[in-house]
A and B are shown apart, each in its own frame.
Chain A
Amino acid sequence: MTALTDPPKESFRIGMLLSDTRYRSLTFQAIALILLICAIAYLANNLVSNLQAQGLNISFEFLGAPSGYDINQTLIPYTSQSTNLQAAWVGIINTLLVAVLACATATVFGVIAGVLRLSNNWLVRKLMSFYVEIFRNIPVLIWIIIIFTIITASMPGPRDYLGEDPATALKLGYFAFTNRGIYVPAPIWGPGSGIVVGVFFASIAGVFAYRRYAKKLLFDTGKLLPMGWPSLVILIVPSVIAYFAMGGPITLDAPDPLANRFNLQGGLQIPAPLIALWFALSIYTGAFIAENVRAGIQAVSKGQTEAAAALGMRPGRIMNLVVLPQALRVIIPPLISQYLNITKNSSLAIAVGYADITATLGGITLNTSGRAIECILLLMLFYLIISLSISAVMNVYNNAIKLKER
């Protein structure tokens, strides 16, 4: 008879660092750590000696110094006497502005094109795949430049709108499309306009409250209240009443062709670089979003639609209650990464002279101060913070909608 015994305990030998899987991973990690430290030390050493040779040091004091350059589009107070830090803030706000605008319009373009690609209409289907293929397969930089060229090379100059008898009339009496950008009427917030705005926000809250109440009533009693027109009434009527009760405090300031002999005055100017970047990014990314939307809708199996129809639901409710919730689960994660792409691609602003963070901090400030390392470091940090926070949001969302399985 043989008796089972534990194998004798081996004592640790040096050779086991390589031959024993228990210790081998430790060996590899130690080697990797040493290599990593050596590489960092080597690079840092080079950096220090290069900086010493040029008499430079790493410091962020240049951020406090006057920037000395002008920016054509600023949403916060800024002059050429402001600090470099202020210039960077202007850039950050401009980046976020174009990113948010482009995300919104790209979603609209993408959803329309994606739904129309699944249309029963052969011609529309083909036209939409033409749009998607054309825009997906040509670099966004070329699109940005092309659209910028369309605006600057083929639109009339502001001078054509000037004078008593202009070469070009204002469109609809309010809008001027010029090669410097689009002039739109600007709202003037008179006294009491705060109350109108407050009433408007309150009525948005009212719409939500009404919908909640209708849903609760439906679940409790089975009674179905109309949704569409009451929401619209709650949204519009109180604001209109408030507007007239306050005596019309919000007025429009249209661009005025007569005020000045050299340029249009008044109104709000949307500069050409912003329009080019905004439109190019949204139409380019819209093509990608269209593909995501199409894939998401196609991912919902036909049986779901048929089952809902068998339960006697109407087509609109099938879409709202059965297909869309399942399709959104597939659509939203790639949609968010497209938003991330828009934010990163907005750095191409530098090609058309839009003052985003890459153009201010990574462009002019870098060149005038000569602080390449610090500027690029801050620039990367900004984009990293944006993309890491967007992916954090995405992870939260993914966990929330994850199919609960065993």
Chain B
Amino acid sequence: MSDTHAHSVAFVRTETIPQMAPPSSASGPIAWMRENLFATWANALLTVSALYVIYLLITATLPWILNGIWNTDSLAECREALEGQVGACFSVLTERWNQLLFGFQYPSDQYWRPGLAFVLLFFAAAPVLFFDLPRKLLIMTAIYPFIAYWLIWGGTIWIPIFAALGFVAGYFVFDRFGKSNFAAGFFGGVAAAFAVWILSGYVTPALTPETPFLEAVQSRDMGGFMLNMILGVVCVSLSVPLGIALALGRQSSMPLIKWICVVFIEFVRGVPLITLLFVANVVLAYFLPPGTTFDLILRVIIMITMFASAYIAEVIRGGLAALPKGQYEAADSLGLDYPQAMRLIILPQALKISIPGIVNVAVGLFKDTTLVSVISMFDLVGMIRGPILASTDWNGVYWELFSFAAILFFVVCYGISQYSQWLERRLATDHR
């Protein structure tokens, strides 16, 4: 049968022909453009208008950036150097970079200190952000706050050392008693820490040398982007534990505790941050014992921390609610009491789910630190609007300064949100 068929056909190819490349209309850049840019008439129209927008953006900014002047002392000189051409006066950045980053009162020979603290921040944050790193690195995170405080504020080294010792003492007491009875361990730890701090209050003045190794810098001298970083980092790290406590309180079965937490959270979330900053600026002093004065920075940190903790509490509450009820019941059936169940079963899982949300709150909070310029603190925006634009040399340089501020914030916030997306992808695979 097959023989007769073979003979009845004039020609049968015996070898396979070599594969040909697909036609250019089916693959390659042309096909890609056809599919992605010019699929339909409407699509082609969109592409053309998008190209036009990009063209407008580039023609508006590129000559301005490329013609930029980097080495003059004032706006007038810069305008002269430009000779009427379009161009940026980036010289305001080269001349005032120190004020933009550190504020105008931080001693200029000490800039390495906040710089070093900033670099160390990466080492301290890495073990928290990346779970694959060895857990022992967390010790860096634990000692970082004390080192950073000493570097930025300077003064006697004994204040951060005793502060750290207080925490160490509290930890040891908790470790000793907390295993059998959480409450005893917890309150014992707090008491031990306070004992150390009160003792240190008597000892520190005696130990303080006349001229400390690092020159002391007052809080009111902090400014520029450094102030934004300080507020952002301090408030986020303080508000996470507070937020956990508030979220647990809101889930509590004790009505009084629950209502205290609900009222606090809803109140703080219902008012704008700016009103809380007004409170820090003008009202908080009325509620303190007569005669006490403390730093505006500290008051602002308290208010921003309260603000952030309410938002973080809501994120963590979402995490707690997302856990299957079986987890709570399993912890109960193992006979764990409330602190044990929370510490060993519930919180590790709930926090893991809420990390992306917490990171989002952190980004929002970091952006909101610019609001302190409204209560006349000289953060990055405050520096630009205050001392720099008011100076006779640079009155009228808007774009260069605000672009600089925008780029700084963009780099930090975009970096953090990219991390959050990476983490979300990673955690999502863990659940499958």
Contacts and interface: CB of A to CB of B under 8 A. Distances in A.
A159 to B, nearest CB: 20
A324 B279 CA distance: 44
B286 A47 contact: yes
Given A133-B414, A141-B373, A376-B282, A46 B398 contact: no
A46 B287 contact: yes
Contacts of B256: 29, 32-33
A400 interface: no
Contacts of B417: 136-137
B77 to A, nearest CB: 20
A122 B37 contact: yes
B28 interface: no
B58 to A, nearest CB: 13
Nearest to B287: A43
A272 interface: no
Given A120-B43, A139-B370, A373-B283, A388 B50 contact: no
Interface in B390-416: 396, 398, 402, 405-406, 409-410, 413-414
Interface stretch (B6-14, B161-169, B266-274): B266-274
B105 interface: no
Contacts of B50: 121, 123-124, 127
Q: Indicate the size class of the contact surface on chain A.
A: 35 or more
Which secondary structure dominates chain B's binding surface? Answer: helix
Given A121-B37, A362-B278, A372-B283, A137 B414 contact: yes
A174 B221 CA distance: 51
Contacts, number: 150
A81 interface: no
A33 B278 CA distance: 29
B254 A344 contact: no
A106 B285 CA distance: 39
A127 B50 CA distance: 7
B47 interface: yes
B288 interface: yes
B381 A145 contact: yes
B257 A28 contact: yes
A249 B114 CA distance: 69
Given A138-B367, A383-B270, A383-B275, A121 B46 contact: yes
Which secondary structure dominates chain A's binding surface? Answer: helix
Contacts of B30: none
Given A120-B43, A133-B414, A373-B283, A347 B274 contact: yes
A380 B266 contact: no
Interface string A225-257: 000000000000000000000000000000000
A380 B402 contact: no
A345 interface: yes
Interface string A77-120: 00000000000000000000000000000000000000010011
Contacts of A366: 278, 282
Nearest to A363: B278
Nearest to B411: A137
Interface in B161-207: none
A142 interface: yes
B23 interface: no
B371 A344 contact: no
Contacts of A388: 266, 270
B409 A139 contact: yes
A376 B283 contact: yes
A265 interface: no
B248 interface: no
Nearest to A351: B374
Contact of A376 (B275, B363, B409): B275
B274 A142 contact: no
Contacts of A123: 36-37, 46-47, 50-51
Contacts of A140: 367
B54 interface: yes
A140 B406 CA distance: 10
20 contacts: A33-B256, A46-B288, A50-B290, A119-B43, A121-B36, A121-B50, A127-B53, A137-B363, A138-B406, A141-B374, A141-B381, A145-B385, A149-B398, A153-B396, A347-B272, A351-B373, A358-B275, A372-B286, A376-B275, A376-B282
Given A372-B283, A380-B275, 6 more contacts: A25-B254, A28-B254, A53-B290, A120-B39, A347-B275, A348-B274
> Which 5 A-B pairs give the minimum distances between C-beta atoms?
A137-B413, A122-B36, A139-B367, A344-B272, A387-B270
